A = this chain, B = another copy of it.
Amino acid sequence: MDAINLKQKLQGFSDHWSPKIVSKFNGHDVMVVKAKGEFTWHAHDDTDDFFLVLEGNMTIETENGNVHLGPGDLHVVPKGVEHRPVAEEEVHILLIEPEGTPNTGDAATAAQKQEI
């Protein structure tokens, strides 16, 4: 059996703010995403939001303050907390959310999550 190499998965696409599912874990999607620029402010009423930066830098602006993350930095946004990810330069992130969670907090505006 092969392990899932996150760098290799990230080499397979270039679009931003479009999470790709690389594995499943206890009803959650394990995803990699490339991001650059400012995302929309949103919250997830039913789930925490797991961010681990793999490469690059980002800020998670939240209603409770800003969190700056570089490579190897992790932050979990508690459920219900309004937040907005921002990255001046491209950042690569590992995300974990329950299967089907809209990345914008709203199904109408959410990216389609594709398995790769």
Contacts and interface: CB of A to CB of B under 8 A. Distances in A.
Secondary structure class of chain A's binding surface, majority of residues: strand
Interface stretch (A1-9, A12-20, A34-42, A106-114): A1-9
A116 interface: no
A3 B69 contact: yes
Interface residues of A, number: 37
A104 interface: no
A96 B27 CA distance: 13
12 contacts: A1-B62, A1-B65, A3-B68, A4-B73, A4-B75, A7-B72, A22-B74, A23-B74, A26-B47, A30-B50, A54-B72, A96-B96
